[in-house]
Structure 1
Amino acid sequence: MSATDGAGTEAEPAYAPLCLPPRTPTRAPDFALPEGTCDCHMHIFGSRADYPLAEARNYTPQLCTLEDYLAMMAHTGIARAVLIQPSVYGTDNRAQLDAMARAPELFRAVVVVPPETGDAALAALHAQGVRGIRVNARNPGGLKLEDVPRLAARIAPFGWHIQLQTALERLAELDDLFAAVPVPLVVDHFGLPDPRLGTSSAPFVNLLRLLESGRLWLKLSAPYRASRIGAPFDDLLPLVEALVATRPDRLLWASDWPHSELWDAMPDTADLVDLAGRWLPTDALRRQILVENPARLYWA
């Protein structure tokens, strides 16, 4: 599972350093995921010969194939998953769509499309299993926030949502924009909060308000992108408890496999599964967040 194993051998540009590869699964999690658990955020990175990377990118991924992910599913007990278009492919969704086509019963997808994409093309994507579009405000190469109103009106008839990756502080600035959007908003990775600010900070209180309104869904994912102390990410626990107490019916869980944009340390996905068991202390919460919520958002 390396960048040179079919992914290309050229030197990586300084602005897009090569990420660490994901760990090879070696153990099953201690926490037994409920039957039907959905991983709501993961990526496939294919051969660069087949799926060239965009020049406008800030990292270079390792080769991480569908077979690699299926092996991880088998080790962890994940039943199905949502393929998320990564920024390094821009609007070329083929790597995710091709993976989904090989196991359509296991996957849904969230893509990045040009604003001028026609209705027939959107309908074809829906038939393949696409259920949303992604706006990544952190990385280059994707949709811009100003594209959201136009695209939201176009995707609403399909029951899709808009998936957003941005810092928590930006959500308040975007409140007026998303108030007028006629589709659900799904925020990645807790909204990338600073846990040192606690649950009473203005950005987090605003997040709880949006969550309470029902307009927003939130992914409990990639704790290593928000924690300031590292594994087992105990500084995030008060935030998780506040989120679960507010609207557990609007929360999703994800592995963020293969954990791209990491250069120093790579988490064990089994540890992240075990962390979900600690975050969600009851069987009812586990089934709701790991199984029922994603079924409503992606498979209904």
Structure 2
Amino acid sequence: MSAADGTGVGTGAEPPYAPLCLPPRAPTRAPDFALPAGTCDCHMHIFGPRADYPLAVARNYTPQLCTLDDYLAIMAHTGIARAVLIQPSVYGTDNRAQLDAMARAPERFRAVVVVPPETGDAALAALHAQGVRGIRVNARNPGGLKLEDVPRLAARIAPFGWHIQLQIALERLAELDDLFRAVPVPLVVDHFGLPDPRLGPSSAPFVNLLRVLERGRLWLKLSAPYRASRIGAPFDDLLPLVEALTATRPDRLLWASDWPHSELWDAMPDTADLVDLAGRWLPTDALRRQILVDNPARLYWA
């Protein structure tokens, strides 16, 4: 899965502002939790050979080589049936790595891409035909779209039934409330909104998230717990937040592995452990079916 010899993504001479990430773990076991049939992983990335898919200069990490075949092995070991390929910031607006992967198994994959705001309707229609269902705005990493692009993009993608996916901290939701109320498409927030779980579910930013979620236009991914937890695996500090979210709008929640877990340099999670964590977070069969199967089917495959 990794290559530091020039055949993959790493070269061994990455710039200091873009250090080489750890490689993902190869699958070694099936999860203890049996995912329901049709489970969708709503956030994962493919990183192809650099010779074919060059990285953007404006980036803050360098990924390992992580191919579709690597991820198909993850699917086989975990029971994940479908997945959503998310354009990573290191490719800027060059979506070929995700689109090429999706083309190999279009019945199993959808994609969320990054396109320039001036992209024409014909190009958007072509992306839709390939399986694209959203545009990503990453406010944390360089090389992508900006929040100021949201209104213009939302108007362009609304006829296709797409959504806008945001990587944004919870604290910014309140200041952007007027903007988000005005857009004519659903919004999807990555990774819990990157909360500080030490503040608990009664903190002002999290209460505001629940309020926005309750309106029904916002979706939230239960993903990448290692990006929010302050205590590490098994991420018990996130459980009160999960319980508050599932009690508020379970029909607006999605689950994702965040494979291959980029931007990690110290410890790499086992995707099977993350699947088992989903089983603990979602204690009933009805909740599991809703969040793992039905919700992504509505958002990405309807």
For each residue in 1:209-256, what CA deviation from the matched residue of structure 2 results, as whole angstroms up to 9, or x when unmatched? 011000100000000000000000000000000000000000000000
For each residue in 1:46-102, what CA deviation from the matched residue of structure 2 results, as whole angstroms up to 9, or x when unmatched? 000000000000000000000000000000000000000000000000000000001
5-14 or 179-188: which moved more?
5-14
Provide the rounded CA distance (Å) in 1 between the counterparts of 2:211 and 2:12. 47
Q: CA deviation at 1:3?
A: 2.8
Provide the rounded CA distance (Å) in 2 between the counterparts of 1:201 and 1:31. 31
Judge conservation of contact 2:10–2:63 (CA < 8 Å) in 1.
no
Provide the rounded CA distance (Å) in 1 between the counterparts of 2:11 and 2:179. 43
Q: Tell me what 1:2 maps to.
A: 2
Provide the rounded CA distance (Å) in 2 between the counterparts of 1:8 and 1:20. 10
Q: Secondary structure at the match of 1:21?
A: coil
Q: CA deviation at 1:8?
A: 5.1
Q: Secondary structure at the match of 2:94?
A: coil
Provide the rounded CA distance (Å) in 1 between the counterparts of 2:107 and 2:31. 24
Q: Secondary structure at the match of 2:84?
A: strand
Q: Tell me what 1:247 maps to.
A: 249
Judge conservation of contact 1:46–1:63 (CA < 8 Å) in 2.
yes
Provide the rounded CA distance (Å) in 2 between the counterparts of 1:52 and 1:283. 43
For each residue in 1:92-120, what CA deviation from the matched residue of structure 2 results, as whole angstroms up to 9, or x when unmatched? 00000000001101100000000000000
Provide the rounded CA distance (Å) in 1 between the counterparts of 2:11 and 2:204. 46
Q: CA deviation at 1:2?
A: 1.2
For each residue in 1:22-55, what CA deviation from the matched residue of structure 2 results, as whole angstroms up to 9, or x when unmatched? 0010000000000000000000000000000000
Judge conservation of contact 1:188–1:218 (CA < 8 Å) in 2.
yes
Q: Secondary structure at the match of 2:287?
A: helix
Provide the rounded CA distance (Å) in 1 between the counterparts of 2:154 and 2:9. 34
Q: CA deviation at 1:173?
A: 1.0
Work out the percentage of aligned pairs sharing the same amino acid. Answer: 94
Judge conservation of contact 1:185–1:215 (CA < 8 Å) in 2.
yes
Q: Tell me what 1:92 maps to.
A: 94
After superposition, the Cα gap between the structure-2 partners of 1:8 and 1:208, relative to the gap in structure 1 and judged at 3 Å, is: closer
Q: CA deviation at 1:10?
A: 5.1
**C-alpha RMSD over aligned residues:** 0.7
Q: CA deviation at 1:9?
A: 2.5
Provide the rounded CA distance (Å) in 2 between the counterparts of 1:16 and 1:242. 36
Q: Secondary structure at the match of 2:111?
A: strand
Provide the rounded CA distance (Å) in 2 between the counterparts of 1:27 and 1:187. 30
Judge conservation of contact 1:3–1:61 (CA < 8 Å) in 2.
no
For each residue in 1:167-209, what CA deviation from the matched residue of structure 2 results, as whole angstroms up to 9, or x when unmatched? 1101111101111000000000000000000111110000000
Q: Tell me what 2:46 maps to.
A: 44
Q: Secondary structure at the match of 1:285?
A: helix
> What TM-score does the superposition give when structure 1 sets the normalisation length?
0.99
19-28 or 4-13: which moved more?
4-13
Q: CA deviation at 1:263?
A: 0.2
Q: CA deviation at 1:7?
A: 2.9
Q: Tell me what 2:135 maps to.
A: 133
Q: Tell me what 1:220 maps to.
A: 222
4-13 or 112-121: which moved more?
4-13
Provide the rounded CA distance (Å) in 1 between the counterparts of 2:229 and 2:198. 9
Provide the rounded CA distance (Å) in 2 between the counterparts of 1:10 and 1:200. 45
Judge conservation of contact 1:136–1:165 (CA < 8 Å) in 2.
yes
Q: Tell me what 2:106 maps to.
A: 104
Q: Secondary structure at the match of 1:11?
A: coil
Q: Secondary structure at the match of 2:77?
A: helix
Q: CA deviation at 1:4?
A: 2.4
Provide the rounded CA distance (Å) in 2 between the counterparts of 1:181 and 1:112. 18
Provide the rounded CA distance (Å) in 1 between the counterparts of 2:229 and 2:9. 31
Judge conservation of contact 1:8–1:49 (CA < 8 Å) in 2.
no
Judge conservation of contact 1:85–1:93 (CA < 8 Å) in 2.
yes
Q: Tell me what 1:165 maps to.
A: 167
Q: Tell me what 1:70 maps to.
A: 72
Judge conservation of contact 1:251–1:293 (CA < 8 Å) in 2.
yes
Q: Secondary structure at the match of 2:283?
A: coil
